[in-house]
Structure 1
Amino acid sequence: MTGYARAQGSDDRRRWVWEARSVNGRNLEIRCRVPQGFDRLENPARTAVGGRLKRGNVSLTLTLTSERQSKPLRINRALLAELGALAEEVRKSTGAAAPSADGLLRVRGVIEEEEEGEQTEEALAALDKALSATLEEVLKALVVARAAEGKALATVIDGHVGEIEGLCKRAAERAQVQIGTVRSRFESQLAELMDRVPTLSEERFAQEVALLVGKADVREELDRLAAHIAQARTLLAEARADNPVGRKFDFLCQEFNREANTLCSKSADIELTRIGIDLKGAVERMREQVQNVE
């Protein structure tokens, strides 16, 4: 969800530039900075962003520059008179020296730039329409920039899905070996207890082994992981078609992680446990990338 775009426009009185920056974020957060006097554009700008984007931290900035080289200066005589009266009052009460003319003129607000003539409602409406058109340009460009990154990101996530699929195949192969491991471990433990417990019948022995094998059976988890892999590929196809899938992928990563944890907890074979740990690492790497998906 990272992207940058810039668009500019102008009329006979001023030039303006809209800049839009987007970085990764779980939800959509919008920050909008506009010049003083243009606060009326902030809410429409936020609405325009929300209509195009669903996730990410987005910063919008509007900069305006007057086409005139400089504006005529004028003295704020009311403020100057007030300052003069206060200075005289201070001089009489404290004996301090009276301020010089250049000192008074340095006070903020005494010298002002003359504002351009009052604009009509029609002129302001035309300006807002032009600024909104430029905003649309910059948002379109931002969407294109984010889409370009998204295509590259889809390839990366697809690689993580492939890694998870490979680990699941290894886990399925190792799960078959686990049955023999559980039986051998039970026979070994039983042999150590032979002097303290009665000999088990073949039927009872088979029941105990079946119980332990059932507890260590990870086929259900592997089946669900296979279904999650298929769903991940479906979501990637939707993402390539410019559909928002970030939140769905977030939830799917939670489900991947849940099954990986269960597989590790059921494992009675060290190699299967290692595969489960690798699987959790692959899911976490994919989850980090999914945070960048729209």
Structure 2
Amino acid sequence: MLKSMTGFGSATQEANGLTVTVEIKTLNSKFLDIYCRLPRTFSDKEVELRNLLTQRLERGKVELSLNVNRLTEVRPGVTVNRPLVEAYLKDLRETSQGLLLDVSDSDLFRLALQQPNVFNSEAVAASDTATSDWELIQLTVLEAIRKCDEFRQQEGNGLEGKFREYIQIITDRLTLVEVQDQKRIPAVRERIRNMVTELLVSDEFDQNRFEQELIYYIEKFDISEEKVRLKNHLSYFMEVLAAEEANGKKLNFIAQEIGREINTIGSKANDASIQRLVVQMKDELEKIKEQTLNVI
């Protein structure tokens, strides 16, 4: 099953007055390249988010955007002990008046806030809230990843259809090459016969040299092995395409092997009609190579 590296997924969830929105975008990349845009409050969770993305998305340039909004009134984790602050403030005011000092109430208030036991901590409740918030964020991220993966699968299905179309065109052109090759052989045979006739009447005719040249000439023009190998490569490409472990790197490698055989056929055939078919096959092969770069 093919998966494209291009994908998008978004998810929004609400719970306990908290709204979490996650967007994930993926693009082509040789490796897994992750970029996270997080609120400062959750910047320490980036490693955990990267692990989730690595496990599910495998390869590509990945951009994650996290937005967190609290709809209900937020209760602070630390509160002020107002009666104690008032007592400190009263004592400080009386002291400054007794010493005949002109001290403003704002300065006295700042001093009062610096006294012991002025603040009451509610760290446990804050910790519980942070834990529940993170759980909701994780669920939202997983949902966005799932949607992004579905998007990639849909794109992969489209790519698979294109690959089958391109391979079929190359296969059809190869069939035409085989037909043209049958017409080419008599022409090559006649050319060799004429050359042999000219050599036989020559006073400098060398039988051994002639046989060597003849073997070289025949081998140079014979494309039988290349046609067989090209058929095998095309068949193997389709086989890998249908497999569960299909991946872009493997398909690209097979495409390179297909290209080698097409090039060799073009260079050895020495036939204008076959050359035109080779150009058409190369055109389809370039499309295949380009698209394999977008497959995970």
Q: TM-score range by the shorter chain?
A: 0.7 to 0.9
**Distance across 1 between alignment mates of 2:201 and 2:211:** 20
Which residue number in structure 2 is paired with residue 215 of structure 1?
Answer: 220
Q: Secondary structure at the match of 1:26?
A: coil
> Judging changes above 3 Å, is the alpha-carbon distance between structure 1 residues 10 and 211 closer, same or farther for their aligned structure 2 residues?
same
1:232 aligned partner: 237
The alpha-carbon distance between structure 1 residues 11 and 223, as it changes in their structure 2 partners (threshold 3 A), is same
Alignment check: 8 A CA contact 1:178 1:268 kept? no
The aligned counterpart of 1:99 is: none
| Offset of residue 146 of structure 1 | 1.2
Higher alpha-carbon Rg: 2
Counterpart pick for 2:269 among 251, 267, 270: 267
What pairs with 1:255-294 in structure 2 (closer than 5 Å)?
255-294=257-296
Q: Is the Cα contact below 8 Å between 2:18 and 2:133 reproduced in 1?
A: no
In the alignment, structure 2 segments of 5+ residues that lack a partner are 77-121
Give the equivalent residue in structure 2 for 1:42. 46
The one-letter amino acid paired with 2:13 is: G
Report the Cα offset of residue 165 of structure 1. Answer: 0.8
Residue 19 of structure 2 contacts residue 69 of structure 2 at CA under 8 Å; is this kept in 1? yes
The share of aligned pairs that are identical, in percent, is 27
Provide the secondary structure at the position in 1 that maps to 2:40.
coil
Corresponding residue number in structure 2 for 1:20: 24
Q: In the alignment, residue 57 of structure 1 is paired with which amino acid?
A: K
1:58 corresponding residue in structure 2: 62
Query: What aligned pairs does 1:61-210 form with structure 2 within 5 A after superposition?
Result: 61-68=65-72, 120-187=126-193, 198-199=204-205, 208-210=213-215
Over 3 Å counting, the alpha-carbon distance change for 1:123 and 1:206 in structure 2 is: same
Q: Could you list the per-position Cα deviations for residues 212-238 of structure 1 after superposition, in whole angstroms to 9, with x for gaps in the alignment?
A: 121221121111111111111112212
User: 1:207 deviation in Å?
Assistant: 5.8
Q: Does the CA-based 8 Å contact 1:182-1:209 persist in structure 2?
A: no
Query: What SS does structure 2 have at the residue aligned with 1:30?
Result: strand
Q: For 1:216 and 1:63, how far apart are their aligned partners in 2?
A: 66
1:255-290: CA deviations, max 9, x gaps?
Answer: 111111222221221222222222111111112222
1:104 maps to none
Q: Deviations over 1:21-41 (max 9, x none)?
A: 122333332221111131222
> Is the contact made by 2:32 and 2:60 (CA closer than 8 Å) also made in structure 1?
yes
Rounded to whole Å, the distance in 2 between the matches of 1:287 and 1:151 is 17
Letter in 2 for 1:28: L
Show CA shifts across 1:109-138 (max 9, x none). Answer: xxxxxxxx8663333222222211111111
Q: Which amino acid counterpart does residue 231 of structure 1 have in structure 2?
A: Y
CA distance in 1 between counterparts of 2:285 and 2:192 reads: 33
Deviations 1:163-194 (A, max 9, x none): 11111112222233333333344455677888
Query: Could you tell me which amino acid in structure 2 is paired with residue 277 of structure 1?
Result: V
Number of residue pairs matched by the alignment = 246
**How large is the RMSD of aligned CA atoms in angstroms?**
3.0
TM-score by length of 2: 0.72
TM, length-normalised to structure 1 = 0.73
